[in-house]
Amino acid sequence: MRYRDNGLGHARLGLAISKRVSKRAVERNRIKRLLRESFRRVRHQLPPVDLMVMAREQAAGVPGSELLREIDGLWNKLLASRADQANPLKRADDTSTIER
């Protein structure tokens, strides 16, 4: 997951789930659906950032409940990293990455 501050006052989500993750559109759409649902639940807690989530090949074989648990862990890491920052504003060309 990558994120960058935005000036909109709310978080936005972008998804990149390529065919490399799974050749089957059903699997890719399942991952996107789970990501959107998880984001919908925590979006009011997130800072105003643009988020870009890129799935890895391992995500296709993970059961839904486990995938949601890992995604929730990423949101928690984002919230913790944003709380720990001494300088909350970054340059516009600086993107930060969070990995599991």
For residue 91, the model assigns a pLDDT of 47
- What values do phi and psi take at 6, rounded to 5? -130, 165
Give the single-character DSSP code of 67.
Answer: H
SS (H, E, C) 29-62: HHHHHHHHHHHHHHCCCCCCEEEEEECCHHHHHC
Render pLDDT for 43-98 as a digit per residue (tens, 0 to 9).
898 888 899 988 888 888 888 889 999 999 988 888 887 776 644 545 445 556 66
pTM assigned to the model: 0.76
- Structural domains of the chain sorted by starting position, each given as residue range(s) with its CATH number in brackets: 2-97 (3.30.230.10)
Mean pLDDT of 18-37: 91
Q: How far apart are CA 38 and CA 96, in angstroms?
A: 20
Give the single-character DSSP code of 84.
Answer: H
